[in-house]
């Protein structure tokens, strides 16, 4: 989330551009889901620019924003980390992916059966969902997204996980104060970290082994 429609559109376009660069530099197909994450984050911000322009409400852009933010990311992140992770980490990451799928199913059910609305609050947007078991869902969401990065067995992804944990807390605090939404800057920073991760991975033409097996 950014603090205006223009900021969301500009930041989203920039983050998506980083995503294109990440995908273009992927050397191993197993790295592709995680490398494409900035593309998803960029699209997410562009969708929110439409929410700004619509003045909030419960239109298609609001629903699409919620679908990307909640069930889709709850599966995409642990799945992407599992694909790219070294072999010794894959068993525990498979458990996190299963938990992510269960969390995503519950979130998707809540979004499908309840209202999803957005409200402009100064320089932030507040989203309202009619979800049951909210504390459990929030905990599960954080465990599968942040936890998969922290337990990836890959040092750069571990750093990214710590960055996500700290940054998400800071963004949430500023959003709760309705001061300004800073998620767009945070998404851009995470996208740059992912780009550096992609650049550091060996290409398929330079080694005959899966790079994940070297960790």
pLDDT of 64-95, one tens digit each?
999 999 999 999 999 999 999 999 999 999 99
Predicted local confidence at residue 211, as pLDDT = 52
Domains in the chain, number? 1
Residue 213 in domain: no
Residues of the chain under the 50 pLDDT cut: 175, 177-180, 206-208, 213-215
Residue 80 in domain: yes
Range of the domain at 190: 5-205
Residue 100 in domain: yes
Residue 215 in domain: no
Predicted local confidence at residue 214, as pLDDT = 46
Predicted local confidence at residue 178, as pLDDT = 45
Single pTM value for the model? 0.87
Q: Of 38, 106, 131, which Cα lies nearest the Cα of 77?
A: 38
Predicted local confidence at residue 74, as pLDDT = 94
Residue 214 in domain: no
Residue 58 in domain: yes
Residue 157 in domain: yes
Torsion of CA 183, 186, 188, 190, to 10 degrees: -130
Residue 20 in domain: yes
Residue 72: CATH number of its domain? 1.20.1070
């Amino acid at each position: 989330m950014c603090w205006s429609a223009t900021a969301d559109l500009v930041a989203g376009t920039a983050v998506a551009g980083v995503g294109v660069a990440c995908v273009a530099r992927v050397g191993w197909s197993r790295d592709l889901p995680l490398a494409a994450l900035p593309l998803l984050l960029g699209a997410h911000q562009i969708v929110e620019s439409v929410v700004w322009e619509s003045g909030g409400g419960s239109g298609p852009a609001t629903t699409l924003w919620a679908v990307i933010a909640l069930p889709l990311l709850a599966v995409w992140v642990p799945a992407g980390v599992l694909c790219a992770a070294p072999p010794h980490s894959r068993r525990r990451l498979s458990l996190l992916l299963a938990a992510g799928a269960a969390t995503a199913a519950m979130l998707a059910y809540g979004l499908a059966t309840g209202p999803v609305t957005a409200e402009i609050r100064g320089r932030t947007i507040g989203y309202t969902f009619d979800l049951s078991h909210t504390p459990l869902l929030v905990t599960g969401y954080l465990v599968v997204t942040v936890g998969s990065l922290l337990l990836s067995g890959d040092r750069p992804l571990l750093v990214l996980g710590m960055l996500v944990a700290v940054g998400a807390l800071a963004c949430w605090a500023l959003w709760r104060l309705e001061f300004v939404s800073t998620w767009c800057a945070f998404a851009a920073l995470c996208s740059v970290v992912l780009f550096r991760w992609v650049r550091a991975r060996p290409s398929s033409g330079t080694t005959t082994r899966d790079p994940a097996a070297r960790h």
